[in-house]
Amino acid sequence: ETSLSVTFLLKLHELTGKQEYKEAALKAMEAVIREVIPTGRWEDFETYWSCSRYGSQDLVGKKVLRNNMHKQNNFSMFWTAEALYECYRTTSNRKYLRSGQRTLDELLMTQASWQPPYMFVNVLGGFGVLNADGEWNDSRESLFAELILQYGKLLNNREYIERGFAALKASFVMMYCPENPLTQVQWEKVYPFFGEKDYGFTMENYGHGGRTSSEGEGMGEFTIYDWGNGAAAEAYNRILDKFGEIEQ
């Protein structure tokens, strides 16, 4: 939430020219650089009070003794990398860029870089969510893709560019349509009545229950426009507008 507020305040500064917004944003960013990034304290509401309640009573702000890590949500990494990118864009101070790349690299550790044999849809390029929950191909990759590409273009880093486009492609993988033949087969095993009128149905993630199978387990049961097909389409159009091309 602090990092997201930084991005918001810098936008207010850009729109109004008021220095107090910029000063507040940079002070908040320094607190995150000092207190959060070095220890990996990537916490937010979802970390404890959404689908995975583990630790909500006794782990907030604390590390798990077994692995010396906080319970983490990669949305916090994303918001921080985004805020640091905006701090660098506003100030040209490379310390923000260095911290931003360091945070982005940690975020990218939660991106699938292979296709496990126990996954029955394409997951390469998709993102998980927490280090204490089970999701693949989560819709947040549609948000992450643009930021990864922005860092890739800024740093002339080919790996980031490839990862950004892979995340964008993964945003569409859970969509029921002929363009996703593996996904289509899995959906039709779960819902045999699916047909042409259902094209576009998109679950927000895969394997959220912690189990998958070739018979459709892990596919889910609902579609949300702004956290599924709509989010993917918006990301595609946003990236097309900003970068002028979409790599296949």
The burial of 9, by beta-carbon neighbours within 10 Å (0-12 exposed, 13-18 middle, 19 or more buried), is given as buried
User: What's the pLDDT at 246?
Assistant: 78
pLDDT tens for each residue of 64-94: 999 999 999 999 999 999 999 999 999 999 9
The burial of 234, by beta-carbon neighbours within 10 Å (0-12 exposed, 13-18 middle, 19 or more buried), is given as middle
> CA 242, 158, 32 angle in degrees (round to 5)?
75
User: What's the pLDDT at 245?
Assistant: 77
pLDDT tens for each residue of 185-231: 999 999 999 999 999 999 999 999 999 999 999 999 999 999 999 99
126, 141 Cβ separation under 8 angstroms? yes
242, 235 Cβ separation under 8 angstroms? no
Secondary structure, 3-state, 93-114:
CHHHHHHHHHHHHHHHCCECCC
d(CA 177, CA 198): 8
DSSP 3-state percent helix, strand, coil across the chain (nearest 5): 55, 5, 40
**C-beta neighbour count of 241 within 10 angstroms:** 8
For 16-20, 52-56, 229-233, which range has the lowest pLDDT when averaged over its residues? 52-56
| Residue 146 clears pLDDT 90, i.e. is over it | yes
